């Protein structure tokens, strides 16, 4: 295939759909850089996506998420499935944040055309990372990957939200991480479809499992973030089929460095995938994903258009008024909007 | 003062400005819950704010940020200055994320009317946390606090951005935190006005200081995030006075649990405060703060209005089209916007 074919939108799309990895990498670069090709590429690829199963894997630093992702990818490959990995985790070896040992450990994946690894920068404008990640997920989906894994560090608000937009969210725990890190976890428990207690050969692993079990028995099994996302746009949510049994997040013990528990974790993910299809929850999650994307895109596009219409002279004046406290930012924003749509 | 006075906007504002702590707490609750009082309260308080110096304190979990904040607050009190503390850190004892020992350690602050502590939930809608934090900062500012400390965990994108909107950003490091946590730090170095190497009695403290020094000598002393924020709105930035010496972030060793180095850290913050005033950079940062606020408020208000104008029936249809892949979200958003404002 000639390289010049990859210099047009049509050429990129057909090469990407034919499995050309260079076309895939170049398409993702266009999207990340928001080049002139980005919108037409996304529009052309969007109808081809929708088949992949999307996993979010999140957890505190030090839980061994990346090694687990590595193990899962290998296990999927052994079952003949292709895997795309997106690391939005500054601690991940996939995104360049780790040591030589970790990089060596992932080298076996790097040479396999059935695995594609991409890291996303965690810097950038507010909200930009979430949508950029969603766009790359969609691109990998259109490119035909069977499973797409998004790895995020389970600490920041944005990072947790990104993982929670997956079909199946795996929260990784590990015993003995210290109190500060334990405290971080509190907020991410509610988004879990599956718990992996990694480093299960360490002291305290059973206590971690016990604590999770107690927490699950105390709380409702229904995921809270569904309700949270449900408020994002005023849409009607499909009713749950009345005869469907609620999903109770399983707890899987793993020792990722020794490949132990990986197959059990993969089986839990696949069981959840079937559950989503049979219960109708997959449809619900697709709606939530669409709603989240629309919100972010609308917000940013509206702002961009208002700023353009208002012009830099007027905006400068408004900023000056806010800095000198002659107008508060809410009133100033209201006035700009009233002028915008009049 | 009768409690009923606190049931009106005017009553709350005058009580808050007179130093009534119950009025302050109630005002913040109105703002956090976005009640009917929120906008009028913010509009009334905004002209009264602008005097406080705002500190952002951020760092990886386990660096001892909260103990450092506690020590700084006490040292400020000894100099007769009042301190407001906002914890947007799930690992902070101020936000309830830590153990009994930490809570006991902060008890001495809790009884002091010159200290006000508030924790912010790290959950909420995208972008909401940053603006909610800015609103609470403004409220504490209007209430007359001399110094306002925002403590965030230096891992998530949103959390780092929140800390970087302060006048003075302190990045807390600690030796021997393990590779994963070390890797996290990379992204937050560039936002530092001051480095605190806490737990300086631990092995490796000198190595941490050395590494920071090397990094500072390699990089430009100018803060990168100023440029980053400068792209947020198309405004003209004031020129730096040509004779002003660039700020080189000092590195202060502390052992917060033993109150060591706290006064030195406070002196570094105050030196930076003077530097900002004399160099004109304070004005620049105020512009950046105003720009960030305006962006977030405009974005959210525009989205809200579009959704209202479009109506849930149309929005439902669009979501359905996106889910069934008949339209990609970018095209769908474009169509909604074209219809809005026409």
pLDDT in tens, A124-174: 444 577 888 899 999 999 999 999 999 987 666 666 677 777 999 999 988
Instruction: Name every chain B residue with its beta carbon within 8 A of the beta carbon of A98.
Output: 179-180, 183
Smallest CA-to-CA distance from B144 within B238, B277, B15, B294 is with: B15
Question: For chain A, how many structural domains are there in total?
Answer: 3
What mean pLDDT, rounded, does chain A reach? 83
pLDDT at A231: 40
Instruction: Name every chain A residue with its beta carbon within 8 A of the beta carbon of B180.
Output: 61-62, 91, 98
d(CA B87, CA B94): 6
* Tokens of residue B80, six digits: 């007769």
CA distance A130 to chain B (A): 10
CA distance B113 to chain A (A): 27
Of the two residues B148 and B182, the one the predictor is more confident about is: B148
CA A46 to chain centre: 17
Q: Say whether both A249 and A324 belong to one domain.
A: no
Burial of B202 (0-12, 13-18, 19+ CB in 10 A): middle
Let me know: does B114 contact B83? Beta carbons within 8 Å: yes
User: pLDDT digits over A280-291, tens only?
Assistant: 999 989 998 899
A248 at B interface, C-beta within 8 A = no
Q: Give the closest of B61, B295, B336 to A303, CB-based.
A: B295
Q: Say whether both B105 and B233 belong to one domain.
A: yes
Contacts of B36 (CB under 8 A, 6+ apart): none
d(CA B19, CA B2): 15
User: pLDDT digits over A49-72, tens only?
Assistant: 999 999 999 887 778 888 999 999
Q: Say whether both A135 and A255 belong to one domain.
A: yes
Q: Is the CB of B180 less than 8 angstroms away from the CB of A301?
A: no
Of the two residues B292 and A306, the one the predictor is more confident about is: A306
Q: Is the CB of A297 less than 8 angstroms away from the CB of B333?
A: yes
Let me know: does A254 contact A261? Beta carbons within 8 Å: yes
| DSSP bridge partners of B59 | B153, B172
pLDDT at A215: 77
Q: Say whether both B82 and B165 belong to one domain.
A: yes
Confidence check: pLDDT of A105 > 80: no
Q: Say whether both A124 and A2 belong to one domain.
A: no
Q: Say whether both A54 and A43 belong to one domain.
A: no
Q: Give the closest of A178, A187, A329 to B297, CB-based.
A: A329
Q: Say whether both A171 and A155 belong to one domain.
A: yes
Residue B303 lies in a domain: yes
Q: Give the closest of B157, B290, B303 to A295, CB-based.
A: B303
Burial of B204 (0-12, 13-18, 19+ CB in 10 A): middle
Q: Say whether both B43 and B100 belong to one domain.
A: no
Q: Say whether both B131 and B217 belong to one domain.
A: yes
Domain residue limits at B315: 297-339
pLDDT at A168: 95
CA distance B164 to chain A (A): 13
pTM listed for this prediction:
0.80
Let me know: does A56 contact A137? Beta carbons within 8 Å: no
* Tokens of residue B123, six digits: 């959950």
d(CA A314, CA A318): 6
CA distance B333 to chain A (A): 6
Q: Say whether both A136 and A227 belong to one domain.
A: yes
d(CA A248, CA A292): 25
A224 at B interface, C-beta within 8 A = no
Residue A286 lies in a domain: no
Q: Give the closest of A62, A155, A341 to B153, CB-based.
A: A155
B100 at A interface, C-beta within 8 A = no
Q: Say whether both B201 and B85 belong to one domain.
A: yes
Confidence check: pLDDT of B79 > 70: yes
Q: Give the closest of B60, B159, B286 to A157, CB-based.
A: B159
Which CATH number fits the domain that encloses residue A230? 3.40.50.300
A332 at B interface, C-beta within 8 A = yes
Mean pLDDT of A287-302: 90
pLDDT band at B105 (very low <50, low <70, confident <90, very high): low
Instruction: Name every chain A residue with its beta carbon within 8 A of the beta carbon of B327.
Output: 46
User: pLDDT digits over A212-251, tens only?
Assistant: 888 777 765 444 333 333 344 444 455 554 456 789 999 9
Torsion from C-alpha of A158, B306, B229, B281, nearest 10 degrees:
-120
- Strand A251-253: give its sheet, edge to edge: A115-119, A83-88, A147-153, A53-59, A168-173, A194-197, A251-253
Residue B140 lies in a domain: yes
Let me know: does A265 contact A254? Beta carbons within 8 Å: yes
Last residue of a domain, one of B252, B281, B310: B281
| DSSP bridge partners of A172 | A59, A196
Size (chain B), residues: 342
Q: Is the CB of B43 less than 8 angstroms away from the CB of A294?
A: no
Residue B287 lies in a domain: no
Q: Give the closest of A91, A98, A298 to B336, CB-based.
A: A298
| DSSP bridge partners of A53 | A147
Contacts of B220 (CB under 8 A, 6+ apart): none
Residue B302 lies in a domain: yes
A101 at B interface, C-beta within 8 A = no
């Amino acid at each position: 295939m000639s390289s010049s074919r990859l210099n047009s939108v049509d050429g990129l799309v057909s090469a990407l759909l034919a499995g050309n990895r260079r076309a895939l990498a170049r398409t993702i670069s266009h999207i990340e850089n928001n080049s002139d090709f980005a919108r037409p590429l996304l529009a052309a690829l969007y109808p081809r996506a929708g088949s992949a199963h999307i996993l979010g894997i999140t957890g505190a630093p030090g839980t061994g998420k990346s090694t687990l992702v590595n193990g899962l990818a290998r296990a999927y490959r052994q079952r003949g499935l292709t895997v795309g990995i997106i690391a939005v985790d500054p601690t991940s070896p996939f995104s360049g944040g780790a040591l030589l040992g970790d990089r060596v450990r992932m080298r076996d994946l790097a040479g396999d055309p059935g695995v594609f690894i991409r890291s996303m920068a965690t810097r950038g404008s507010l909200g930009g990372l979430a949508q950029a990640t969603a766009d790359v997920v969609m691109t990998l989906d259109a490119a035909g990957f069977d499973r797409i894994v998004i790895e995020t560090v389970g600490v920041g608000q944005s990072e947790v939200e990104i993982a929670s937009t997956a079909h199946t969210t795996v929260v990784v725990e590990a015993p003995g991480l210290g109190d500060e890190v334990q405290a971080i976890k509190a907020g991410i428990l509610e988004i879990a479809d599956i718990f992996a207690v990694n480093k299960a050969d360490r002291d305290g692993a059973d206590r971690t499992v016990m604590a999770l079990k107690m927490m699950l028995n105390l709380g409702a099994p229904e995921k809270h973030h569904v309700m949270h996302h449900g408020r994002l746009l005023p849409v009607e949510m499909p009713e749950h089929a009345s005869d469907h049994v609620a999903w109770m997040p399983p707890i899987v013990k793993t020792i990722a460095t020794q490949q132990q528990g990986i197959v059990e974790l993969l089986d839990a993910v696949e069981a959840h995938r079937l559950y989503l299809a049979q219960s109708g929850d997959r449809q619900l999650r697709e709606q939530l994903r669409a709603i989240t994307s629309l919100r972010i895109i609308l917000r940013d596009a509206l702002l961009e258009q208002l700023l353009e219409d208002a012009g830099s002279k007027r905006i400068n004046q408004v900023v000056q008024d806010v800095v000198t406290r002659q107008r508060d930012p809410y009133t100033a924003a209201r006035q700009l909007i009233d002028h915008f749509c009049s």
